[in-house]
Amino acid sequence: MILTVTMNPAYDMTYRVERFERGQAHRVRSVEQRIGGKGINVTRVLNQLGKYARATGFSDHAFAAAAELEMPVDFVHALPWVRRTVVISESRDGTATALWEPGARVSNPHAAEQLAIRVSGLLPDINGLVVSGSLPGGIDPGLPAELARSAVAAGVPTICDVDGEALRLAAEVPGVILMPNTGELECLSGRTPSTPEEVVAAARPLIDRGVRAVVATRGAKGMIAVTADGAWVATLPEPLAGNPTGAGDSAAAAVIAALSTRAEPDWAAILTDAVATAAAAVVIPVAGEIDRCLRTRLAPTVRIDKLAAPESEETTP
Contacts of 221 (CB under 8 A, 6+ apart): 235
Contacts of 315 (CB under 8 A, 6+ apart): none
Is there a catalytic annotation at residue 249? yes
- 103, HSE (Cβ side, Cα atoms, 13 Å): 24
CB 103 within 8 A of CB 85: no
214 forms bridges with which residues in the sheet?
178, 226
For the chain, state the CA radius of gyration. 19
- Which of 183, 180, 240 shows the shortest CA–CA distance to 206? 180
- 287, HSE (Cβ side, Cα atoms, 13 Å): 32
- Which of 88, 2, 87 shows the shortest CA–CA distance to 42? 2
Q: Which of 12, 161, 163, 249 is catalytic?
A: 249
CB 58 within 8 A of CB 78: yes
CB 38 within 8 A of CB 132: yes
Catalytic residue IDs? 249
